[in-house]
Chain A
């Protein structure tokens, strides 16, 4: 092939470029596509209210489980309210709750909002041990000035007594 460079060194370089270019293009293309479509945002209820993600888009919702809001049905469905200082969302979840799920504690739910505004969770994560708090949640709570260490329940997450 006459259009190929004459020197074997230049030829090898051309081969290398020819091999690397498609892989690189594939990797970059897939990565950009992946980062555009398959990342999920983390919101607290008030951030979710502001960002208003479309129904069905997977997100993570983090906040404190409101005391007294947990309702368990016999078919395995659990309903509870996740709250931050200014907003709260109803969460519906079918499945096993993590071992450390407690009222008044921080959780992160992965799932999507339904059309009726209820958050349908696919997975619920709580702290893994007494030292651990989902990092995004700890940060969001700190920003809102609601970080009081573990164990103390802010007023908005407490049950309202009539």
Chain B
């Protein structure tokens, strides 16, 4: 009964989404506030409908109602409660429902929170959001209904893929999807601005909070996915340039570019067309990501059961929405007002350069991701594009960006002073060079590239601090005055500092880990040992443990350094009775910022009894890789709380301006 209620309210939501689009569009054409308000009401009702449907799906999972096909395929009575709930979005159908929930949720939020927006702009935005909602809801209802019933329900479900039964992955999709879909509001706002024919500072001020919120959520989502890959796949790495990782990374790069170009549009009225282009592009890449993941056209860990029909449908949706958005752009953008002028050396130019580099980086990632498809379509040869390609193309572009980054915030608007910027940054440059030289001289083995990367990371961190020092005039005025300035800084400035600091921290961690990671693998009998990164790892024994829905071999690994006990690692090799799948549970021993990462491999029969393959990685400073993005997202949240970005303030300021 509850599943039927869910299916019904999902259809109701589809009807409401269509009504939302229709009523709002009619409201805009007839300039009727009544119709427009009805459209906004429909937006909230559509969200309520999807929320009820989603609640019903979660209920079906929690109560293990195997008469629902999706539950039977992805759940099991013995699964822990968290993974029963997470199972609701662990499959293709469920994840599309989550997508719709986020999409209608943002639609409702835009309708409810956008009070300060001009009526016409808001109505077109709600209409666009309604159109997007109708398309994706129609897809969910007709092509991948998560609440479809089975005529003959099985007694027991087939359970969720054990690799996905993990806390980080349970919360990874909600974050990622709220990030992906948050770009839809920016997309709708861009469409609305194009329809209304007006893109100005106020538009950028309205679009920025949505872009910031989506960007922060996406940052956390990508980080969680990477962290999952790090400790669940047991390969010792945290980023594999897998097509699905790229699919989530490209919208992030676009959104990052948008956040920066929107600043120029907001402060100086320039780059309006480009900001709109990025706003359209960010959601297009989000949809491309959904298509790549869901259609299974590319080989990936994340590819769900492949159904070509669904892939084609998603491709049509992608083509239609992105196509009409960009067609509108091509038609209307030339009529947009051109913004203020600026000198080649200025804050504007620095942000333009940032955008050029980010756009070029996105393009190389896109090409690398799609090249196997293109190549196969043209020549029929199957190829794969792996990390070497991305290291060669993406990394130099990002390195250039990182080297230029600290100078940007110190530049003045309109006309900057290069000598002045250099004067303020020479201490940071000195710190960076010293850090690089120290890393080259002190860390063994000697690695020039690793040291260079560390220098870049130190440059970013020192640059962010130098910017803070400059703003507070520290060491030039009294400490109390500096403190007063520090507490008086706008939240937006803090947000930027945190985000740039986070990037620096990430670069430090990534370069140290990639440069100096150690790896060892050996087949050990009980009592055998191996060494990695100065640590001695002794396999004491392998015992049996029983989990809620798996049995596991658990190794007791005693770690010592110079004879002193350090920690005990308990990596597991789990066998899930349902599906017969084996997964490895990694043991990580945290040593400051560094990780000692231990994996229990397969059992082999040796001459003198059983032996186990034990792999260990020494990942120095690996914590920073995941901490950096958290700092960045935190920067986004802090910036979001800035009162300048609140919609009411923007509207009041606009009202004060003479029309």
A binds B: yes
Contact A96 B613 (CB under 8 A): yes
- Stretch of A28-36, A84-92, A112-120, A146-154 lying at the B interface: A28-36
Question: Does B382 count as interface, using CB distance less than 8 angstroms?
Answer: yes
The residue of chain A having its C-beta at the shortest distance from the C-beta of B344 within the complex is A15
Question: Does B594 count as interface, using CB distance less than 8 angstroms?
Answer: no
Question: Does B353 count as interface, using CB distance less than 8 angstroms?
Answer: yes
Q: Main SS of the interface on chain B?
A: mixed
A-contact 0/1 string along B553-589, CB 8 Å cutoff: 0000000000000000000000000010111100000
Q: Which residues of B contact A97 (CB under 8 A)?
A: 601-602
Task: For A39, give its contact among B301, B385, B599 (CB under 8 Å).
Answer: B385
The residue of chain B having its C-beta at the shortest distance from the C-beta of A99 within the complex is B582
Q: A39-B371, A39-B385 are in contact. Are A30 and B341 (CB under 8 A)?
A: no
Q: Which residues of B contact A38 (CB under 8 A)?
A: 385-386, 388-389, 392
B-contact 0/1 string along A98-113, CB 8 Å cutoff: 0110000000000000
Q: Which residues of A contact B384 (CB under 8 A)?
A: 39-40, 42, 60, 136
Question: Does B368 count as interface, using CB distance less than 8 angstroms?
Answer: yes
Question: Does B397 count as interface, using CB distance less than 8 angstroms?
Answer: yes
Task: Name the distance in Å between A42's Cβ and chain B's nearest Cβ.
Answer: 4
CA gap between A30 and B393 in the complex, in Å: 5
Question: Does A142 count as interface, using CB distance less than 8 angstroms?
Answer: no
Q: A12-B342, A95-B521, A131-B305 are in contact. Are A31 and B393 (CB under 8 A)?
A: yes
Task: Name the distance in Å between A46's Cβ and chain B's nearest Cβ.
Answer: 14
CA gap between A30 and B382 in the complex, in Å: 22
Q: Which residues of B contact A31 (CB under 8 A)?
A: 364, 367-368, 393
Contact A40 B386 (CB under 8 A): yes
Task: For A35, give its contact among B305, B360, B371 (CB under 8 Å).
Answer: B371
Contact A96 B363 (CB under 8 A): no
CA gap between A41 and B386 in the complex, in Å: 11
Contact A96 B382 (CB under 8 A): no
CA gap between A139 and B526 in the complex, in Å: 43
Q: A23-B360, A30-B364 are in contact. Are A136 and B371 (CB under 8 A)?
A: no
Q: For window 413-445 of chain B, which residues contact chain A by CB distance below 8 Å?
A: none
Q: A96-B599, A129-B161, A131-B305 are in contact. Are A76 and B522 (CB under 8 A)?
A: yes
Question: Does A49 count as interface, using CB distance less than 8 angstroms?
Answer: no
Question: Does B1 count as interface, using CB distance less than 8 angstroms?
Answer: no
Question: Does A3 count as interface, using CB distance less than 8 angstroms?
Answer: no
A-contact 0/1 string along B363-395, CB 8 Å cutoff: 110011001000100000111111011101100
Task: For B521, give its contact among A24, A34, A76, A100 (CB under 8 Å).
Answer: A76
CA gap between A139 and B367 in the complex, in Å: 22
The residue of chain A having its C-beta at the shortest distance from the C-beta of B381 within the complex is A41
Question: Does B396 count as interface, using CB distance less than 8 angstroms?
Answer: yes
Question: Does A135 count as interface, using CB distance less than 8 angstroms?
Answer: yes
Q: For window 41-98 of chain A, which residues contact chain B by CB distance below 8 Å?
A: 41-42, 60, 72, 74-76, 94-97
Contact A15 B349 (CB under 8 A): yes
The residue of chain A having its C-beta at the shortest distance from the C-beta of B601 within the complex is A96
Contact B296 A27 (CB under 8 A): no
Q: For window 152-168 of chain B, which residues contact chain A by CB distance below 8 Å?
A: 161, 163
Contact A72 B383 (CB under 8 A): no
CA gap between A24 and B397 in the complex, in Å: 10
The residue of chain A having its C-beta at the shortest distance from the C-beta of B615 within the complex is A96
The residue of chain B having its C-beta at the shortest distance from the C-beta of A139 within the complex is B382
Contact B392 A19 (CB under 8 A): no
Q: Which residues of B contact A20 (CB under 8 A)?
A: 356
Q: For window 336-360 of chain B, which residues contact chain A by CB distance below 8 Å?
A: 338, 341-342, 344, 349, 352-353, 356-357, 360
Contact A100 B582 (CB under 8 A): yes
Q: Which residues of A contact B582 (CB under 8 A)?
A: 99-100
Interface centre among A9, A27, A128, A136 (most CB of B within 10 A): A27
Task: For A19, give its contact among B349, B522, B579, B584 (CB under 8 Å).
Answer: B349
Task: Name the distance in Å between B575's Cβ and chain A's nearest Cβ.
Answer: 9
Q: A99-B581, A99-B584, A100-B581 are in contact. Are A26 and B397 (CB under 8 A)?
A: yes
Question: Does B298 count as interface, using CB distance less than 8 angstroms?
Answer: yes
The residue of chain A having its C-beta at the shortest distance from the C-beta of B525 within the complex is A74
Contact B386 A135 (CB under 8 A): no
Q: Which residues of A contact B305 (CB under 8 A)?
A: 131
Q: A30-B364, A40-B383, A76-B523 are in contact. Are A132 and B393 (CB under 8 A)?
A: no
Question: Does B299 count as interface, using CB distance less than 8 angstroms?
Answer: yes
- Stretch of B115-123, B221-229, B604-612, B626-634 lying at the A interface: B604-612
CA gap between A130 and B357 in the complex, in Å: 42
Q: A16-B352, A40-B384, A96-B601 are in contact. Are A76 and B298 (CB under 8 A)?
A: no
CA gap between A31 and B501 in the complex, in Å: 29
Question: Does A8 count as interface, using CB distance less than 8 angstroms?
Answer: yes
Task: Name the distance in Å between B97's Cβ and chain A's nearest Cβ.
Answer: 20
Task: Name the distance in Å between B539's Cβ and chain A's nearest Cβ.
Answer: 14
Contact B604 A72 (CB under 8 A): yes
Contact A136 B382 (CB under 8 A): yes
Q: Which residues of A contact B361 (CB under 8 A)?
A: 27
Question: Does B468 count as interface, using CB distance less than 8 angstroms?
Answer: no
Q: For window 385-413 of chain B, which residues contact chain A by CB distance below 8 Å?
A: 385-386, 388-390, 392-393, 396-397, 400
Task: Name the distance in Å between B569's Cβ and chain A's nearest Cβ.
Answer: 16
Contact A27 B393 (CB under 8 A): yes
CA gap between A40 and B368 in the complex, in Å: 12
Question: Does A134 count as interface, using CB distance less than 8 angstroms?
Answer: yes
CA gap between A18 and B393 in the complex, in Å: 21
Q: A12-B342, A24-B360 are in contact. Are A34 and B163 (CB under 8 A)?
A: no
CA gap between A135 and B244 in the complex, in Å: 14
Q: Which residues of B contact A41 (CB under 8 A)?
A: 381-383
Q: Which residues of A contact B367 (CB under 8 A)?
A: 31, 35
Q: A12-B342, A99-B581, A99-B583 are in contact. Are A35 and B385 (CB under 8 A)?
A: yes
Interface centre among B361, B382, B607 (most CB of A within 10 A): B382
Contact B360 A75 (CB under 8 A): no
Question: Does B109 count as interface, using CB distance less than 8 angstroms?
Answer: no
Q: Which residues of A contact B400 (CB under 8 A)?
A: 23, 26
Q: Which residues of A contact B342 (CB under 8 A)?
A: 12
Q: Which residues of A contact B522 (CB under 8 A)?
A: 76
Q: For window 128-184 of chain B, which residues contact chain A by CB distance below 8 Å?
A: 161, 163
Contact B385 A27 (CB under 8 A): no
CA gap between A100 and B584 in the complex, in Å: 12
**Further contacts, 4 of them, CB under 8 A, given A38-B385, A74-B604:** A74-B607, A76-B521, A95-B613, A129-B161
28 contacts across the A-B interface (CB closer than 8 A): A9-B338, A15-B344, A18-B344, A19-B349, A19-B356, A26-B400, A27-B393, A27-B397, A33-B392, A34-B364, A34-B390, A35-B371, A37-B388, A41-B381, A42-B383, A42-B384, A60-B384, A74-B607, A76-B521, A76-B523, A95-B615, A96-B613, A97-B602, A99-B582, A99-B583, A131-B305, A135-B296, A135-B298
Pick the 7 closest A-B CB pairs, nearest first: A38-B388, A42-B382, A99-B582, A96-B601, A27-B360, A34-B389, A136-B382
- A residues at B contact (CB < 8 Å): 8-9, 12, 15-16, 18-20, 23-24, 26-27, 30-31, 33-35, 37-42, 60, 72, 74-76, 94-97, 99-100, 128-132, 134-136, 139-140
- B residues at A contact (CB < 8 Å): 161, 163, 296, 298-299, 301, 303, 305, 338, 341-342, 344, 349, 352-353, 356-357, 360-361, 363-364, 367-368, 371, 375, 381-386, 388-390, 392-393, 396-397, 400, 521-523, 579, 581-584, 599, 601-602, 604, 606-607, 611, 613, 615
